[in-house]
Structures are given as C-alpha cells and as structure tokens.
Structure 1
Amino acid sequence: MGDDVRGLHGGGAATTGGGVPAAAKTERARLHVAMLALQLGYAGFHVVSRLALNMGVSKLVFPVYRNLIALCLLAPFAYFLERKDRPAMTPGFLLQFFLLALCGITTNQSFYLLGLDNTSPTFASAIQNSVPAITFAMAAALGIERVRLRRRDGLAKAAGTLLCVAGATVITLFKGPAVFGPAAAVVTVTAVAPPQAAGNNSSKSWALGCVYLMGHCLSWSSWLVLQAPVLKRYPARLSVTSYTCFFGLLQFLAIAAVVERDAAAWTLTSGSELLTILYAGLVASGVAFAVQTWCIDRGGPVFVAVYQPVQTLLVAIMASLLLGEQFYLGGIMGAVLIIAGLYLVLWVKSEERALAAKQAAGAAGVCDDEPDAAASCLKQPLLPSPATLESAV
C-alpha cells in the first residue's frame, strides 16, 4: 500500500499522546504542507495557462518547452543526490518509465490542451475534479488502496472522496450571490458554455472536447496510481521523475516533429510567452512533479488525489485577490464540502497509520518484554496462521 508507515519500528522513538511516534507526526505535517504548496503551484499554472492559449504558441511546442525546462531542473539534482540510491537500470524499469511518461505527461497534457481548446476553461476545471474519484476507484481495484465498505473507515474514505469532488464542482458551477470582494471591481463571470457556444470555429466540437478531457482525467489518475508500485521497486524519487520527463520530452518531440513542421511555431515572440513557459516548466512540472512523487511515495496515490479539489478553491481565492473578482456563496459552500471531505479521508488515513504503528510495536516488543525472551521467541512461528491472517483482514 502506498501509505505504509516508514520509520515507525524503532523501539526508543519518542511518541505523542496517542502512541504515534513524533517523527511520523512531523512527516504527516510535512505531507499536508507539501500538498497545499503543490495545489497552490498548480492553481497558479491554471490561471497562467488561460493566458497562454491566446499567445500563439503551438499546443504541441508548448509542452516540449515545458518538459525540457523541467528535465533541465530535475536531472542534475537526481544525478548528484541519488547517485547511491539508484538501482541498476534494467529493460523493465525503462519500460515502466516510458509508460509513466505516456500516461502522466504525453497523453495527460495533450488531452488537456485539446479538451481546453474545444470547450472552456471553466468546464475543464470542473471535470478535472473527477480525478480523486477515478484514482480512488483505480487504487481500490488494483489493491493499492484498501477499502472495506462494510466498515466505518471504508465508508468514511469513500464518502470523503465524493464530498471533495462535490465541493469543487459546486465552486465551479454554482455562483450564488456575492459575499465579499472589491466593491469597485468589474467582474466578468464565464459560465459553462453550452455545446452551441463552444466557439465560432466550426472545427470545434464540444462533445469531442469532453472526450479529450475525460481522457486527460483517466491519464492523470493512471499516472498517480502507477507511480506507487514503481516507487517501491525504484526508490530514487527524483530519478523516477527525471526519467519520466525525459521520455515525455522524447514522445512530444516525436509527435511535434511530424505534426508541427512550421518553424515559426517554435519561436517565442514575447516576454509573456517566455514567462508562461518558464512557470510551466519550473513550477508546474519540475517542482510539482518532484513534490508529487515524494507525496505519492509517502502518502499514497489517493492521499495525493484527494487534494486535487483544493486547487479549484485556491483558483477562486486567487482570482478574488489578484484579479479583483468577487467571492460568491457557491465558493464558500464548496469550500465547506471540500474541508469536510478532506477531514474524513485524512481521519481514516490517520487511523490506519496508528493501527499499523501499534501492530508493528506489538510485534517488535513481544519478545523483549517477556522474562524468558529467548525461549518464547523460538516458539513463535515464522509465518502467522491462516486464521490469524483472516482475522487481521
């Protein structure tokens, strides 16, 4: 499971009042801070990408530059910091990195840009929030995330995921009356466009755009889920991210070389285009990929995906503070649902970690606490009985 407790087996580790080691509590706090920072970076990119679509940069050239910058940022750190941690490269690892790039970079970014081009940014933001639910279903189906719907914790985990998706959808689709914001601001609200208003260009297809965006969500969820088993076998996280960016760059270069043959499409004509690409490469790809890979390794794919709706909340707040847009009742209602959903999922995660810590501490201390430790330990079976396994499950 992606959220296995690490570093909890030391017998002398300091513990909190609930019996959880202080180091584990500190790591959980770091995970939450990292995920909030990650969603803040993605929210900024979501705002910036709306401007980039009208700057004239090719939708195939843009991700080439984005992943090239990310690779240049990550590769040196991966090479020097993980020189001793990298396992030997094998054809199996190369294939896994290629598939991660295909899911998480090439198809993910391509489907998003194509879907955004055929629909609207508001609709793309709304449909993106299905990622936690899709990731939850994939992880549960593959056995990466344990879900017991007949138990209270399993129901809470499923309900929390659905609440997060519902909250982000409310923020995007329901405006309501204005609650607070700059009174003098001139606010332009873009509603979800109907199929007939998808654009004046007859080549645009709203239905096709929806298909593209669903492909984007499926690719993103697949990437989150597939990283967990890869990181178990290849624990060098920065190297995994660098290899993924490398293969994603090669895949985009191959596609762009065939489709985009106009040399003018590869030229940046303004400082705004350069700044947008730098932000996309440095923040939304380089830093974000590294932080997300670390969070998946330590917290699991569902833990990472459940924070996705926070991005919609941050976009609404950023638009209110930076663009002068008013904050509406729908945003507050959605925020309450998101917080409630996050609380449920993270509560279940906390209970699972506490239970794993107690089981690990009991298994490690059973021989140390008995007077006749040597004799009792020799009598312990090497493997638990089938009845014990069934009761543990």
Structure 2
Amino acid sequence: MADGMEGRRVCGMPEKAQLHVAMLTLQFGYAGFHVVSRLALNMGISKLVFPVYRNIIALCLLVPFAYFLEKKDRPKLTLNFVVQFFLLALCGITANQGFYLLGLDNTSPTFASAIQNSVPAITFAMAAALRIEKVRLDRRDGVAKVVGTLACVAGASVITLYKGPTIFGPTGSDHHQVVVGDGEMVMKNWTLGCVYLIGHCLSWSGWLVLQAPVLKKYPARLSVTSYTCFFGVIQFLIIAAFMERDADAWQFHSGSELFTILYAGFIASGVAFAVQIWCIDRGGPVFVAVYQPVQTLVVAIMASLTLGEKFYLGGIIGAVLIIAGLYLVLWGKSQERARLAKDAAAAADIVVRSTTTSSSSSNKQQASSAVTQPLLLPSSTSSSTENV
C-alpha cells in the first residue's frame, strides 16, 4: 500500500502525505468539537436540543450523497432493516451522544477525549464476548489485545475514581462549579460525569459491533449512516417532547450558540465523517486509530487556552494507561492481520504448487499417450497447423 500511496499525487503531494495531513486536520476538527460542545453547555444550550439540531444538519449533508452514490449498492428497505437501523440509532446516536453530553457537562473536554481512546479496546472485548473476535492467548497478538484492554479499563477506572492534585492549570478556576447562560452557578459531579463517559464509550463500541453484521446484509455505508441518523433525530425528538417542553430552549439567543450547533453538525458529523471514510479506505482502520491520542493532546491545549481547564494527576495517569492500552490492542490487531495474510499467502502457494504438479503430471500422461497414437494427424488438426 505504501508504494501505491507514494505513486498517487495531488497538487504535487504524495497520497501518503495527504493521508497524514488529513488525519491531523481531522484530529483538530474533533478536538474543536469537544471544546465547542463544552462552550455550548456553558452557554446554557439544552442537552437535548443540541443533538437534535446537530443530527438534522448531518442528515441533510449525508442524504444527497447516500442517494446518488449508492443507487446500485442499496438493497431494498424491509421491516427487518428498519428495526436494525432503529436499534443502531438507539445505541450509536441517542445513547452515544446523550451520555457524551451528560459526561462532558460534569467533567472536561480533555478527559472526555482521553476516555474515548478506550473505544477500540472495549469494541474488541465486546466482539470477543460475542465470539465475533477470536482470542488466542497462546500467541503474542492475542496476549497484547487482552493486556491492552485491561490497561484501558484500568485507565478509565483511575480517571473515574481518582482525581488527585492539580498538576497544571490557571489559578482561580474550579471545575466543580460552572457558570451557565443566565449566570447561574451549577455544581458538577466529576465521578458521575466519568461514569456517563464510560456509558458513552460502551454505546459507541456496541454500535460498532452491531454495525458489522448489518453492513454485510446492507453494504451501503452512507445509506446505513443516513437511516441511523434519521432514527436518531426521531428518538431525540420523542425524548425532548417529554423532557424539554420550554419553547425558548429551541431558539438561538446569540451567534455563538448558532456557531456551536453549525460546527457540531457540519464539521464533526459531516466533513469529519467523509474525511474519516476516505482515510480508512486508503490507509486502513489501524492507521486512523493510531492518530486518536493526538486528539487528546490537541484538546488539552485548546481547553487550557479557551476554557482555563486544569490538569489533574489522576486524569494524566489514566490517559497514559488508556493510550498505552490502545497501542497494545492496535499492535495485536496489526500482528494478527499480518499473520492471517501470511497464512493465506502460504495456502495460496500450496494450491498453486499442487495445481502445477497435477498439470505437469497430466502433460506427461498426454505425452506418453501421444506415443501410442497413429502417426497421421486428423484432417482438422493438419488444417489448423497449416494455417499457423
């Protein structure tokens, strides 16, 4: 793949360099989303109104591409698919984004981003529990994936249960109290916020695991995402009908509120999704996942500059454990893929050799039988020989 990526150039830039630039840009985009979401909550935007508007914008972006690009790949929509899309939306949109906003409201963008690094490990654990993923403890890759998963769980536990002393941060700021739109001081629960963020990661991982069998039967990724987004909007609207009855909450009171929602819809759900699909297609899922910790670093810097966020010892220790676990899981997956590719190549080589051997033995049999044939060839054969 590396050779192929070096060969393709756009504006004089090799594709490999384009992938690295795209992934760095993507991490900055996602990092901005963490900070913008926290700013939106600080301004008093409803935690139900925000995801409704965000997913409506994303749906408007996705539907045209899904309709025109996947006309041939899109199977017929049946009741069974509708139920599956509804469940995907419940897990991947409603629970995922709902838990994220509740967790972010009680913690900080840096720790929300840090805990998200555990998603590959949690996804592996879920897939292994459902026997979608095989665990081989007699191999290094299997041990690495298990140890990496345990490290991620340990890191998330440290972030949740141990805050520790302040390592770095501006003086005078207190994340136990946050001022919202009308100047009201609201108390925050750090531990509860981390529990919500773990629920967010579990929902995200569950969505990834459940999506795999759906895509096998319905191999139109953009259409699946569009249907999932549509049902997510419906679910959030139903919840908001019972939980958010204040009509004023649905109105924009400033340009800053409008900017946060547009950023979340266009950048975090629209542009970022398209860039990520291209990077996964050209660089592979491991290449994309390796860049995830860069997002945490960018979020930490941006949150410190814009929100005056403090860094705590427990969060730093937990983030290091989670990132180390992430790389162990990714290394195990890459080693497993390399081993499977090597085994497949060896099996193909055996097939080729056996085919060659049987072909040569068949030729020998034909040659020996030709000795016993009459010296005069059939008329059709001699005619074809003369034409040659």
Report what 2:302 is aligned to: 318
Q: Does residue 363 of the first structure (1) align with residue 347 of the second (2)?
A: yes
1:33 Cα deviation after fit: 7.2
Structure 2 CA distance, aligned partners of 1:327 and 1:291? Answer: 31
Superposition map of 1:325-344 within 5 A: 340-344=324-328
Please identify the structure whose Cα radius of gyration is greater: 2
1:85 Cα deviation after fit: 1.4
Query: Does structure 2 conserve the Cα–Cα contact (< 8 Å) formed by 1:147 and 1:154?
Result: yes
Structure 1 CA distance, aligned partners of 2:16 and 2:333? Answer: 10
Structure 1 CA distance, aligned partners of 2:304 and 2:276? Answer: 27
Report what 1:277 is aligned to: 261
- Name whichever of 154-163 and 313-322 sits farther off: 313-322
1:201 Cα deviation after fit: 5.5
Query: Does structure 2 conserve the Cα–Cα contact (< 8 Å) formed by 1:307 and 1:342?
Result: no
1:143 Cα deviation after fit: 2.2
Query: Does structure 1 conserve the Cα–Cα contact (< 8 Å) formed by 2:173 and 2:309?
Result: no
1:51-104 C-alpha deviation (Å, 9 max, x unpaired): 101223222111110000000111111111111111222222211111110001
Query: Does structure 1 conserve the Cα–Cα contact (< 8 Å) formed by 2:167 and 2:310?
Result: no
1:271 Cα deviation after fit: 1.0
Structure 2 CA distance, aligned partners of 1:160 and 1:28? Answer: 28
Equivalences, count: 346
For the structure 1 residues 130 and 187, does the alpha-carbon distance in structure 2 shift closer, same or farther, using more than 3 Å as the test? same
1:255-300 C-alpha deviation (Å, 9 max, x unpaired): 2233323322111121111110011111222234455677889999
Report what 1:153 is aligned to: 141
Report what 1:101 is aligned to: 89
Query: Does structure 2 conserve the Cα–Cα contact (< 8 Å) formed by 1:164 and 1:306?
Result: no
Q: Which amino acid aligns with 2:222?
A: L
Query: Does structure 2 conserve the Cα–Cα contact (< 8 Å) formed by 1:161 and 1:306?
Result: no
Query: Does structure 1 conserve the Cα–Cα contact (< 8 Å) formed by 2:121 and 2:326?
Result: no
Report what 1:353 is aligned to: 337
Q: Which amino acid aligns with 2:211?
A: Q
Structure 1 CA distance, aligned partners of 2:223 and 2:65? Answer: 9
In the superposition, the TM-score normalised over structure 1's length comes to 0.70
Query: Does structure 2 conserve the Cα–Cα contact (< 8 Å) formed by 1:163 and 1:338?
Result: yes
Q: 1:187 aligns with which of 166, 170, 179?
A: 170
Query: Does structure 2 conserve the Cα–Cα contact (< 8 Å) formed by 1:157 and 1:345?
Result: yes
Q: 1:265 aligns with which of 249, 255, 271?
A: 249
Structure 2 CA distance, aligned partners of 1:306 and 1:145? Answer: 20
1:98-130 C-alpha deviation (Å, 9 max, x unpaired): 11100011122222323444x332665565555
Query: Does structure 1 conserve the Cα–Cα contact (< 8 Å) formed by 2:46 and 2:249?
Result: yes
Q: Does residue 221 of the first structure (1) align with residue 205 of the second (2)?
A: yes
Q: Which amino acid aligns with 1:271?
A: G
Identity of aligned residues (%): 73
Q: Which amino acid aligns with 2:69?
A: L
Superposition map of 1:187-206 within 5 A: 187-188=170-171, 193=176
Report what 2:58 is aligned to: 70
In the superposition, the TM-score normalised over structure 2's length comes to 0.70
Query: Does structure 1 conserve the Cα–Cα contact (< 8 Å) formed by 2:38 and 2:104?
Result: no
Q: Which amino acid aligns with 1:78?
A: A
Report what 1:389 is aligned to: none
Superposition map of 1:111-130 within 5 A: 111-117=99-105, 119-121=106-108, 124=112, 128=116, 130=118
For the structure 1 residues 233 and 314, does the alpha-carbon distance in structure 2 shift closer, same or farther, using more than 3 Å as the test? farther
1:146-176 C-alpha deviation (Å, 9 max, x unpaired): 2223332111122234445667867x95677
| Secondary structure class of the residue paired with 1:371 | helix
For the structure 1 residues 330 and 103, does the alpha-carbon distance in structure 2 shift closer, same or farther, using more than 3 Å as the test? closer
Query: Does structure 2 conserve the Cα–Cα contact (< 8 Å) formed by 1:237 and 1:294?
Result: no
1:210-230 C-alpha deviation (Å, 9 max, x unpaired): 554443332222112212222
Structure 1 CA distance, aligned partners of 2:146 and 2:321? Answer: 14
Query: Does structure 2 conserve the Cα–Cα contact (< 8 Å) formed by 1:101 and 1:247?
Result: yes
Structure 1 gap segments, 5+ residues each: 1-14, 179-185, 378-393
Structure 1 CA distance, aligned partners of 2:197 and 2:327? Answer: 28
Quote the RMSD (CA, aligned, Å). Answer: 4.5
Structure 2 CA distance, aligned partners of 1:206 and 1:325? Answer: 14
Q: Which amino acid aligns with 2:53?
A: Y
| Secondary structure class of the residue paired with 1:316 | helix
For the structure 1 residues 59 and 214, does the alpha-carbon distance in structure 2 shift closer, same or farther, using more than 3 Å as the test? same
Of Structure 1 and Structure 2, the greater helix share is in 2
Query: Does structure 1 conserve the Cα–Cα contact (< 8 Å) formed by 2:166 and 2:312?
Result: yes
